Amino acid sequence: MKIGIIGCGHVGAASGYACVLKGVGTEIVMVDRNKDLAAAQAEDILHATPFASPIPVRSGEVADLDGAGIIIIAAGAAQKTGETRLDLLKRNADIFSDLIPQILNASPDAVLLIASNPVDVMTQMVASIAQKTHGINASRIIGSGTILDTARFRALIAAHLGVSSHSVHAYVLGEHGDSEVLHWSGALVGTIPLANFAAQVDAPITQQIRDQVDEGVRRAAYRIIHGKGATWFGIGAGMARLAMAVIGDENALITCSTPTANILGGGEVVCLSYPRIINRQGIIRTLVPEMNQSELDLLTKSALVLSQAAQEIGVADVSSSSYVA
């Protein structure tokens, strides 16, 4: 399956590179308004293919996305030091208003994977534009959401327990940002509840450990941005994982963001992360994990944050009929 990447900065390039390393896709076309940057990134990634998967990688225009099954969107202004993801809203809204119709004209059947921040609101904006201009169902609009936060959560729990992160099953829900909800009550290691497993390996999950993990997950982007200006390796791998789930028709369960009804009641739609089943059609089902009351309250607050942000750019009034229930 042909993959297009829009935006060839750090995140777009890392996404293409991760796809090559993991053997995702049959061709990668990189597009950026800075044509020299797109050409340079494509050439550099192509030179990695003898050491990974021999996927053709080239730069091009939006029109060259014709026939692509997946479009990774990593365009937009970068997050500045000290700036929240929601502060990016107005700077990125104009970019997407022009870009999305061009992409859908070139590749109307593609699944769109959104990485641009603030990713939840940007994903809702893409879904709004796609619905209005091309009648695209939101099941084909997938934001990276908390896929990276979930990976951070699992990695930190695994490090504390001294086990592989592949054995930790835990989710981060809600916003990809400050109001995200770490789903501690549902965390498992293998099939064993987290607290039980932690007691057996003499690594109890104390309040201090919970606070450390929460800080490690919730503030990760800020630390990385302070140190090197942006995050890209983790999210690049996450985008490749989403693309793999689509291409492989996997029915994989992954936390990601798409406009979702029935979170705040009254038929309002808000874009946030839940565990979703993903295959070649996009998102085919949303799973709602059991949460304790504290987690439910925090998720509602997270949804309110995102709803208010969406209202600021006028994407909260789109019909809920095309959204994932």
- pLDDT at 318 exceeding the cut of 60: no
- pLDDT at 106 exceeding the cut of 90: yes
For 159, list phi and psi in degrees, rounded to 5: -65, -40
| Angle, CA of 118, 167 and 298, to the nearest 5° | 40
**Predicted confidence band of residue 317 (pLDDT cuts 50, 70, 90):** low
Provide the pLDDT for residue 20.
Answer: 98
Which two structure tokens, joined as six digits, stand for 45?
Answer: 């990634």
Residue 275: its H or E element: strand 269-279
For 240, list phi and psi in degrees, rounded to 5: -65, -35
Q: What is the pLDDT of residues 270-310, one digit of tens each?
A: 999 999 999 999 999 999 999 999 999 999 999 999 998 88
Q: What is the pLDDT of residues 39-91, one digit of tens each?
A: 999 999 999 999 999 999 999 999 999 999 999 999 987 667 777 656 777 77
Q: What is the pLDDT of residues 148-188, one digit of tens each?
A: 999 999 999 999 999 999 999 999 999 999 999 999 999 99
Cα→Cα distances 255→55, 72, 90, 106, 291, Å: 27, 17, 26, 28, 15
Closest CA relative to residue 148, chosen from 233, 266, 209: 233
Q: What is the pLDDT of residues 198-207, one digit of tens each?
A: 999 999 999 9
- Amino acid present at 83: E
- Cβ-in-10-Å burial (0-12, 13-18, 19+) of 105 comes to middle
pTM over 0.85: yes
Question: Does the annotation count 160 as an active-site position?
Answer: no
Provide the pLDDT for residue 268.
Answer: 85
Q: What is the pLDDT of residues 196-251, one digit of tens each?
A: 999 999 999 999 999 999 999 999 999 999 999 999 999 999 999 999 999 999 99
Single out the catalytic residue among 160, 176, 183, 226: 176
Q: Which residue has the higher pLDDT, 309 or 130?
A: 130
Provide the pLDDT for residue 78.
Answer: 66
**Predicted confidence band of residue 325 (pLDDT cuts 50, 70, 90):** very low
Provide the pLDDT for residue 85.
Answer: 58
- pLDDT at 323 exceeding the cut of 70: no
Domains, the chain:
2-143 (3.40.50.720)
